[in-house]
């Protein structure tokens, strides 16, 4: 994609407003906490302290809106405490520009590395740096700086207390995540009725797993219906696929296929009913036709072999889903635990330190970019005769992200939103000439609108935030003429610096596509080999299969995200055309899908082993590891070892197990499709994109 087309695409993305489900009660709670902090500070400590405390409460409320599964009060407290520390340290060296510049560089570099811990940590750290640039200008002495830091921390405490005292749909996010996973499987079952080889996106299951990872305190308090449904849902997916797929199931036409379609439709109805019950905390209401279809004794008379085993397992698993959704079932396995915040700190520091040794990683490059841009923006802001020079680095820090499309789209959205927000706020100020009290009230109103609309797009959030800052600074006595023209120009400067930094020191995803594909291939190979080994040793524990499956999902998501980011990058492909990427991705996806089908038919403990499966599993694991290396080195992988193992299997075993032998052949066929996709020459239109990436 050319630079012009890429800039157009990112600009449209940044200025777009998405239709999302709004949460007015949650937004009202955040605005109420802000109003309490501002009102009390304004009456007791004066306008300047009110402005400082407002930033703490404002940022703490934003932290509670992040897509994190940690308790919301913990996020608010962490945000308020870290912002208070940043503000106090910034003031200590703020009077000496060289020292403050050094602190700003170190702080922004650390904030950039925080993205290695996760998006929530990265967003909170970046926001802390941006707000610190404003709040360090408010105090006049060390004592007042400590007071301002205390007020900022108090804002976080107030927001955390409101979350505890005014709970809104407790465990709602976890309920939604689990319900979405069940609803996705219901949709999958319906699609399998028409397309037996339909694809399934495991992202809802991955989200449900993240939502089910809790602290020890949460594990003791969560509702019973959230205990075991996710594990059952995980086991249903391969059973649905194996029941529908003609390769290991029933023919595509005939009475057996009709019975399979009936079972899939009934399964979809049960899963939808369970999802609805979990989402709203009510009893499961199964439609009568679905219940009758699952209880009829005709299944054993129509289906046989692997299809009958899959149908029997599906009916049993659906019963488990209903029991757990009603809170009467569930397994006794240990819950998935996440470290508490104090234990997370050393883990986060080790993760950030590890990024220092990976100079080509997107996170390290983002940290270096944001550090250089913040320092350059601060120096330019001080040199230009505009006043309020901190707005340039503040805008840069707020829009910069580790990937190209988000940085550029947010830069456009930030400037557009700033123009709209400042224009509206300025017009209202000129018409009403509000005093400190009315300015504070208008700031709270803008904050409420920001909380309400922040998930609809960054442009809308930026407009509300810009108006909020204008009114809030007006509360402290700064007139609009002192801030608005400077803010617009310096916001534009900050956005331009952020965009230029990415162009000069990029972290393109396009050249990494082969590495992402190789990682996914190796993960799928390990998963398939672990499944095949279970046929060779049915008594072996299933832990390895589970770990390999989770690694496969993570590698698949990394590949898809990389492919999506590469689509919008102004970089020509390096050895992997769009057609090759699509074909290779389909082939590796088929490899994982066939392994999943085979997992649904893994024999029970005590079943006779299939000795030849062990040799094929070892050959498959080695072949995919070497194949992944070949993909990274721009070679077409070969599968001679797996082919020889499969040939020896046919010679040495008289009556092999139908599922594992047929599945092994399908696995090898998927690998051959991968080689064909990588060996195929680029189509004529793709040849125009050939060349080396521009950086």
Cα–Cα distance between 532 and 223 in angstroms, integer? 37
| pLDDT at 573 (0 to 100) | 63
| pLDDT at 521 (0 to 100) | 96
Q: What is the dihedral of CA 63, 65, 71, 75, to 10 degrees?
A: 0
Cα–Cα distance between 332 and 325 in angstroms, integer? 15
Which residue shows structure tokens 């490899």? 591
**Per-10-residue mean pLDDT, the chain, length 695:** 78 80 91 92 83 88 88 91 89 78 92 92 90 77 84 92 90 90 94 91 89 83 77 87 84 88 94 92 89 83 85 90 78 71 85 87 93 93 80 89 90 89 84 85 93 90 88 69 71 91 90 93 96 90 89 93 86 75 93 91 84 92 95 93 88 63 92 91 43 35
According to DSSP, the residues that pair with 406 across neighbouring strands are: none
| pLDDT at 693 (0 to 100) | 35
| pLDDT at 688 (0 to 100) | 39
351: number of CA atoms within 13 Å, CB side? Answer: 16
| pLDDT at 267 (0 to 100) | 94
Backbone CA torsion sign across 35, 40, 43, 47: negative
Instruction: Answer yes or no: are the C-beta atoms of 592 and 624 closer than 8 Å.
Output: no
Sort residue 198 into left (φ over 0), alpha (ψ -120 to 50) or beta: beta
Which residue from 349, 464, 401 is spatially nearest to 61, judged by alpha carbons? 464
* CA angle at 569 for the pair 564 and 575, rounded to the nearest 5°: 85
Kindly provide the residue ranges of all beta strands, DSSP E only, lying in 512-606, ordered along the sequence: none
| pLDDT at 179 (0 to 100) | 92
Instruction: Answer yes or no: are the C-beta atoms of 152 and 41 closer than 8 Å.
Output: no
pTM (2 decimals)? 0.85
Sort residue 169 into left (φ over 0), alpha (ψ -120 to 50) or beta: left
| pLDDT at 396 (0 to 100) | 92
According to DSSP, the residues that pair with 396 across neighbouring strands are: none
- Helix and strand tally (H, E) in the chain? 28, 0
Which residue shows structure tokens 């699952």? 294
Instruction: Answer yes or no: are the C-beta atoms of 400 and 501 closer than 8 Å.
Output: yes
List helix spans (H) across 454-512: 458-475, 480-504
| pLDDT at 615 (0 to 100) | 92
| pLDDT at 653 (0 to 100) | 56
According to DSSP, the residues that pair with 337 across neighbouring strands are: 214
Kindly provide the residue ranges of all beta strands, DSSP E only, lying in 343-396, ordered along the sequence: none
Q: At what angle do helices 658-679 and 640-652 cross, to 10 degrees?
A: 160
């Amino acid at each position: 994609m050319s630079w012009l087309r890429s800039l157009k695409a990112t600009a449209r993305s940044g200025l777009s407003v998405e239709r999302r489900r709004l949460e007015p009660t949650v937004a009202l709670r955040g605005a109420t906490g802000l109003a309490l902090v501002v009102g009390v500070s304004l009456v007791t400590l004066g306008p300047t302290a009110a402005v400082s405390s407002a930033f703490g409460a404002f940022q703490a409320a934003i932290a509670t809106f992040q897509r994190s599964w940690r308790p919301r009060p913990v996020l608010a407290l962490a945000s308020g405490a870290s912002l208070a520390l940043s503000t106090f340290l910034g003031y200590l060296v703020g009077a000496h520009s060289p020292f403050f510049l050094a602190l700003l560089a170190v702080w922004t570099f650390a904030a950039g590395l925080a993205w290695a811990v996760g998006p929530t940590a990265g967003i909170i750290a970046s926001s802390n740096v941006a707000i610190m640039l404003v709040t360090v200008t408010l105090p006049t002495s060390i004592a007042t700086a400590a007071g301002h830091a205390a007020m900022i921390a108090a804002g976080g405490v107030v927001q955390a207390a409101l979350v505890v005292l005014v709970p809104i749909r407790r465990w709602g996010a976890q309920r939604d995540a689990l319900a979405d996973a069940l609803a996705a499987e219901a949709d999958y079952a319906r699609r399998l009725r028409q397309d037996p080889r339909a694809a399934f996106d495991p992202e809802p299951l991955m989200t449900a797993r993240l939502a089910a990872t809790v602290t020890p305190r949460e594990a003791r308090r969560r509702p019973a219906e959230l205990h075991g449904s996710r594990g059952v849902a995980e086991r249903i997916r391969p059973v649905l696929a194996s029941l529908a797929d003609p390769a290991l199931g029933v023919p595509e036409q005939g009475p057996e296929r009709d019975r399979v379609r009936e079972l899939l439709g009934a399964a979809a109805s049960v899963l939808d009913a369970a999802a609805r019950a979990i989402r709203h905390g009510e009893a499961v209401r199964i439609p009568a036709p679905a219940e009758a279809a699952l209880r009829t004794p005709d299944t054993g008379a129509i289906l046989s072999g692997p299809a009958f085993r899959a149908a029997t397992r599906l009916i049993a698993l659906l019963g488990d889903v209903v029991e757990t959704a009603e809170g009467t079932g569930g397994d006794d396995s240990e819950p998935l635990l996440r470290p508490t915040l104090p234990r997370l700190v050393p883990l986060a520091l080790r993760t950030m330190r590890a990024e220092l040794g990976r100079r080509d990683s997107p996170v390290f490059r983002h940290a270096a970019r944001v550090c250089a841009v913040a320092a350059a923006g601060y120096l330019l802001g001080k040199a230009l005769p505009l006043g309020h020079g901190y707005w340039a680095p503040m805008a840069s820090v707020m829009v910069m992200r580790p990937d190209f499309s988000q940085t550029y789209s947010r830069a456009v959205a930030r400037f557009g939103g700033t123009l709209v927000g400042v224009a509206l706020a300025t017009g209202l100020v000129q018409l009403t000439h509000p005093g400190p009290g009315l300015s504070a009230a208008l700031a709270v109103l803008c904050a409420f609108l920001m909380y309400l609309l922040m998930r609809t797009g960054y442009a809308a959030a930026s407009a509300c935030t810009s108006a909020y800052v204008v009114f809030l600074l007006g509360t402290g006595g700064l007139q609009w003429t002192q801030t608005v023209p400077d803010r617009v120009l310096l916001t534009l400067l900050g956005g331009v610096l952020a965009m230029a930094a990415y162009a000069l020191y990029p972290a393109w995803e396009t050249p990494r596509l082969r590495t992402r594909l190789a990682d996914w291939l190796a993960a799928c190979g390990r998963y398939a080999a672990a499944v095949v080994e279970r046929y060779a040793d049915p008594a072996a524990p299933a832990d390895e299969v589970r770990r390999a499956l989770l690694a496969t999902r993570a590698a698949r998501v990394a590949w898809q995200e990389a492919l999506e980011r590469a689509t919008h990058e102004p970089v020509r492909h390096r050895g992997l055309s769009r057609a090759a990427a699509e074909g290779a991705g389909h082939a590796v996806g088929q490899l994982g899908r066939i392994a999943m089908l085979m997992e649904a038919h893994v024999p029970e403990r005590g079943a006779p082993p299939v000795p030849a499966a062990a040799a094929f599993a070892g050959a498959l694991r080695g072949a995919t590891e070497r194949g992944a290396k070949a993909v990274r080195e721009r070679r077409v992988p070969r599968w001679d070892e797996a082919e020889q193992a499969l040939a020896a299997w046919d010679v040495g075993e008289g009556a092999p197990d139908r599922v594992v032998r047929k599945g092994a052949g399908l696995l090898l066929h998927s690998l051959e499709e991968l080689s064909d996709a990588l060996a195929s020459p680029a189509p004529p239109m793709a040849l125009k994109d050939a060349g080396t990436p521009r950086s």
